[in-house]
């Protein structure tokens, strides 16, 4: 057999990565807020809080920064919600479909007018 050395290790590494990716915990907005507020209270160190919650320190600081920036925007009066990219894509595709529908109906309407009047203009 002509097996390259290390191919089974590569396959095992890929398998482990896939398992970690699929079992990665996702946190809801409420959980993130709870963790950030616990850190802001200062009752325990950030590193101890992160160990207890099973997250990295850098992830905590990212959430904390986002939380504080969102609060700053809200307090400054910027309450317009940012649309997420999937929402924007869906709205754009819906707008294109509606424009096509209006174009089809307009064309059909003009053709009907032409067939009824012969010239396509209303006679008053």
Q: Are residues 20 and 69 in the same domain?
A: yes
CATH number of 56's domain: 1.10.10
Contact yes or no for 60/35 (Cβ under 8 A): yes
Both 39 and 78 in a single domain?
Answer: yes
* Range 56-84 average pLDDT: 84
Contact 25, 54 (CB under 8 A): yes
Q: How many domains, the chain?
A: 2
User: pTM here?
Assistant: 0.48
* Mean pLDDT value of segment 44-69: 94
Residue 23 has pLDDT above 70, yes or no: yes
Distance CA 123, CA 118 (A): 11
pLDDT at 111: 92
**Residue 27: which residues within 8 A CB-CB, separation 6 or more?**
35, 55
**Are residues 65 and 101 both part of a single domain?**
no
Taking CA atoms, 35 is separated from 28, 50, 56, 62, in Å, by 11, 9, 12, 12
Domain that holds residue 13: 9-82
Neighbours of 60 (CB within 10 A): 20
Give the chain's length.
124
Digit-coded pLDDT (tens) for 12-21:
888 888 887 7
Per-residue pLDDT at 103 = 95
């Amino acid at each position: 057999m002509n097996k390259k050395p290390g191919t089974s290790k590569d396959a095992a590494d890929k398998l482990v990565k896939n398992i970690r990716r699929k079992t990665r915990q996702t946190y809801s907005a409420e959980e993130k807020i709870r963790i950030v507020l616990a850190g802001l209270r200062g009752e325990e160190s950030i590193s101890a809080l992160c160990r207890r919650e099973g997250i990295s320190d850098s992830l905590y600081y990212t959430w904390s920064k986002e939380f504080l920036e969102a609060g700053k925007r809200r307090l400054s009066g910027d309450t317009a919600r940012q649309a997420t990219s999937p929402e924007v894509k869906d709205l754009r595709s819906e707008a294109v479909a509606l424009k096509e529908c209006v174009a089809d109906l307009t064309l059909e309407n003009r053709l009907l007018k032409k067939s009824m009047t012969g010239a396509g203009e209303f006679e008053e």
